[in-house]
Amino acid sequence: MPELPEVEVSRQGISPYLENQQLVKVIARQRQLRWWVPDEVLAQTNQPVLSVTRRAKYLLIQLPRGDIILHLGMSGHLKVIPSGTPATKHDHIDLVLASGMALRLNDTRRFGAVLWQQKGEVHPLLASLGPEPLSDNFNLAHLTAAFAKRGSAVKLVLMDNHVVVGVGNIYANEALFKAGILPSKPAKAVTPQQLAKLLPVIKDTLAAAIKQGGTTLKDFSQADGKPGYFAQQLLVYGRGGQPCVSCSKNLTEIRLGQRSTVFCASCQQ
């Protein structure tokens, strides 16, 4: 599933083609995605695109009357193409622009979503989300309070969108390794010193991934404009059984919350 950096780089890739353009119409070849594409989305005709923003893993196409919300799910991807381009299998939604281009959503498994958020309202999916990890609202006081009474594994708490959005499996593994914290350690047992180290590590890890993605971004105006995962130097994720980059002992891989979790039993406490 695309994680926050992939979604942010998708936002950066499509924004130049959408912002300050006119949305002529929305074409839905298949409305049954994860949720039914609502009538309000299809009613958006001849509307200026004010901006393209992101909240957690949701992209928001901001229009005068409200926002079209896009979520890529597990297999969705976006590409910008000439509006007359014939649809292929799994090309479900087109946002047709006056420029002659269109933003197309292809979603093989149909776990993505295209939803509507009325102006002045907050969609229920966005209402209870935690702070953005790169924002000032994600700070030491917030992290300390979130961890204080939680006995769950620290990795699972970091991946809870009510605590902070967008710290997915890859980046939780990486951040905890860099901070020297065992992923299975109860969140309430994480020391103040460890918390003080973890906070900037999370921010730096995500910021670096976004920066790397921006440098390797494929052209969204091409037919294969799927950004995919970036070529990154991952320290632990996907390296179970291989030598630790710090101490050379073999990394351990377990399952936490049904997700692959890799750590160094020597370097992380």
Is the pLDDT reported for residue 262 higher than 50?
Answer: yes
Question: Of the ranges 1-15, 34-48, 173-187, 203-217, which one carries the lowest mean pLDDT score?
Answer: 203-217
Select the more confidently predicted residue: 24 or 219: 24
The domain locations on the chain are 4-128, 140-263
Instruction: Please name which of 264, 237, 235 lies closest in space to residue 250, comparing C-alpha atoms.
Output: 264
pLDDT of the residue at 28? 98
Contact (CB, 8 A) for 110 and 72: no
Q: What confidence tens digit (pLDDT) does each residue in 94-124 have?
A: 999 999 999 999 999 999 999 999 999 999 9
CA 266, CA 110: separation in Å to the nearest integer?
42
Helices 140-147 and 192-216 pack at an angle, to 10 degrees, of 120
Question: Is 57 among the residues known to form the active site?
Answer: yes
Please indicate whether residue 2 is annotated as part of the active site: yes
pLDDT higher than 90, residue 136: yes
Mean pLDDT, to the nearest integer, of 49-74? 96
Tens of pLDDT along 145-165? 999 999 999 999 999 999 999
15 pLDDT more than 70: yes
Among 57, 104, 178, 239, the one annotated catalytic = 57
Task: List the CATH code of the domain at 4-128.
Answer: 3.20.190.10
Residue 214 pLDDT level (bands cut at 50, 70, 90): low
Q: What average pLDDT does the structure give for the chain? A: 92
Residue 82: C-alpha distances to residues 87, 89, 141 (Å): 11, 17, 48
pLDDT at 213: 76
Give the pLDDT band (50/70/90) at residue 75. Answer: confident
Q: Would the pLDDT of 127 be above 80?
A: yes
Identify the pLDDT of residue 74: 86
Token pair in block for residue 55: 């909240």
Which band of pLDDT confidence, cut at 50, 70 and 90, is reported for residue 224? very low
Alpha carbon distance 2, 255 (integer Å) = 20
Catalytic residue among 2, 133, 183, 227: 2
Distance CA 156, CA 142 (A): 16
| Nearest alpha-carbon partner for 77 in 59, 51, 53 | 59
Residues annotated in the binding site for DNA, as ranges? 90, 109, 150
3-state SS, residue 124: helix
Partners of residue 69 on adjacent β-strands: 60, 115
Angle at 12 between CA 25 and CA 31, to 5 degrees: 35
pLDDT score at 226 = 52
Asked if pLDDT for residue 215 goes beyond 80, the answer is: no
221 pLDDT above the threshold of 80: no
Number of DSSP helices (H) and strands (E) in the chain, helices first: 7, 11
Strand, helix or coil for residue 267: coil
- Identify the three-state secondary structure at position 182: coil
Known binding-site residues equal 90, 109, 150
**238 pLDDT above the threshold of 50:** yes
User: Which one of 3, 6, 8, 174 is the catalytic residue?
Assistant: 3
Is residue 232 pLDDT above 90, yes or no? no
Q: In this structure, which amino acid lies at residue 162? A: H
pLDDT at 219: 52
Contacts of 50 (CB under 8 A, 6+ apart): 19, 62, 63, 64
**Which residues, other chains included, contact 173 with Cβ-Cβ below 8 Å and sequence gap of 6+?**
155, 183, 236, 237, 260, 261, 262, 263
Phi, psi of 170 (to 5 degrees): -60, -50
User: 156, 157, 150: which is closest to 188 by C-alpha?
Assistant: 150
Q: Which of 34, 110, 197, 259 is catalytic?
A: 259
pLDDT at 225 over 60: no
pLDDT at 5: 87
Token match 């000032």: residue? 136
The pLDDT value given to residue 105: 95
Does residue 3 carry a catalytic annotation?
yes
Q: Give the pLDDT of residue 223.
A: 41
CATH code linked to domain 140-263: 1.10.8.50
Cβ 195 vs Cβ 139: under 8 Å: no
